[in-house]
Amino acid sequence: MSLRIPAGPRSQEILPALRQSAPRRYDYAMGRFQLVDFAAHYQKGFRNHIVAIGDVAALIESFKRYGCYATYCFFSDELLTYMSLQGGAPSVSGYEGKVWAPYLPIDLDHPELTPALAAARLLSEFLLARWRIDPASMQVYFSGAKGFHIMLDTRLFGRVAPSRSLPAIFDSLRRHLAQELPEPLRETVDLSIKDRMRLLRLANTIHEKSKLYKIILSADELRAHDADQIRELAKKPRPLARTDATGFLSHADVSENPAAAQLFQRVQRQLKRLTRKPFVYRLQRPADLGQVQFPCAGAQAIWQNHIEPGYRNNCAIRLASELRLLGLSAEETEDKLFEWNERNQIELSQDELRSVVGSAYQHRFPYRYSCRDEILRKFCPLPDERSCLRMVAASARHE
């Protein structure tokens, strides 16, 4: 059922279960992206508990609907690889890989609730009347305390592919939509939720402070009820008609909306313009394995230098991952790490190096450390990660 990640990743065990739980209508978009980070107030460690979305409903029950959350971004097993490659307790922190999301959440908050309610009304009216979205494509929830969550089905935006930049696109979409609200209500839009690991309180679970449930509201209730009436409704959970129990998997067929798709594409183009660089660097398997050159300056520095104990393992896994990305086989990478170990007096044992290579190659998809990675930055001679060739390469490829 739930899956705690110990020292090694477990994606092999997860994947068959995932295939069964994939709802058909999401096949085009979800594919490999069915993992979320589930968190609960009474769960040991709170978060870093990666599960298939199909397992979340049962987890909510097992935590008695108290303070349960999940990431609204969905992940592939690349996240498990990332977690397993870290020293110490596996954590999702710092992950920058590709994500997909069934819904764009817009979080409207105000300490007095009423302004947030006014904002939720105006924004949902705008989406229904001006964008003419299908009512089945939007769910509005009272968060249980000070706000509302408007959830927009991402199928409105057309075919949304998994991408590293989806959180940035969402952030920009929220900013554009906030502009549709009058000035004093604009500040109810929470614009801080751009992190891809951000947790969202789950529907029909109890808010730790108010002891009220996060509940879904119909269009009529949103229009007619005041804050007190909504709080009254939230004393009990309410059935979800249009989604599964997590609120993330829709039962409705939703098609592309022209206004939504247009804004999405505009935002996507703007982001690409901002990150595009003139120089295109292509990763290529080195012709001569005796002359390995790393696209990342941090990795190159690690390759060329003596590394103090305490950093050796973290450096070795980064080198192994970089070598896999350069197209070397596990055996070739092992040879290169032995060479590095020898040349720079690193003094890791052959067994340790072999297990590092095993970690770097155990998943179908190689993990790529970001140039912002703490360890790579520590050894990188460049003033900041933006000057690193690999960053340039990544943005030039327009992921």
Question: Which parts of this chain interact with Zn ion (CB under 5 A)?
Answer: 296, 298, 371, 388, 390
Give every strand in the sheet of 138-142, ordered side by side.
Answer: 103-109, 147-153, 138-142, 215-217
Residue for token pair 């409105």: 156
Question: Is the Cβ of residue 67 or residue 298 nearer to Zn ion in the bound state?
Answer: 298
- Report, in Å, the least distance between residue 107 CB and Zn ion: 33
Question: Is the Cβ of residue 145 or residue 388 nearer to Zn ion in the bound state?
Answer: 388
Question: Is the Cβ of residue 233 or residue 396 nearer to Zn ion in the bound state?
Answer: 396
- Report, in Å, the least distance between residue 388 CB and Zn ion: 3
Residue for token pair 């979080």: 107
Q: What are the backbone angles phi and psi of residue 207, rounded to the nearest 5°?
A: -75, 130
- Say if residues 41 and 84 touch (Cβ distance below 8 Å): no
CA 274 to chain centre: 21
- Report, in Å, the least distance between residue 311 CB and Zn ion: 16
User: Any idea what DSSP says for residue 88?
Assistant: S
Q: What are the backbone angles phi and psi of residue 108, rounded to the nearest 5°?
A: -115, 120
- Report, in Å, the least distance between residue 295 CB and Zn ion: 7
Question: Is the Cβ of residue 304 or residue 329 nearer to Zn ion in the bound state?
Answer: 304
- Report, in Å, the least distance between residue 72 CB and Zn ion: 29
- Report, in Å, the least distance between residue 360 CB and Zn ion: 17
Q: Name the token pair of 143.
A: 């968060």
Question: Is the Cβ of residue 199 or residue 380 nearer to Zn ion in the bound state?
Answer: 380
Question: Is the Cβ of residue 80 or residue 371 nearer to Zn ion in the bound state?
Answer: 371
Question: Is the Cβ of residue 233 or residue 389 nearer to Zn ion in the bound state?
Answer: 389
Overall size of the chain counted in residues: 399
Angle between helices 330-343 and 312-325 (to 10 degrees): 140
- Report, in Å, the least distance between residue 167 CB and Zn ion: 21
Question: Is the Cβ of residue 238 or residue 390 nearer to Zn ion in the bound state?
Answer: 390
Q: How many helices (H) and strands (E) does the chain have?
A: 15, 8
Distance (Å, whole) CA 320 – CA 326: 10
- Report, in Å, the least distance between residue 335 CB and Zn ion: 23
Residue for token pair 């891809």: 196
Distance (Å, whole) CA 21 – CA 248: 13
Distance (Å, whole) CA 151 – CA 131: 15
Distance (Å, whole) CA 322 – CA 247: 38
Q: Name the token pair of 117.
A: 């309610």
Amino acid at 352: E
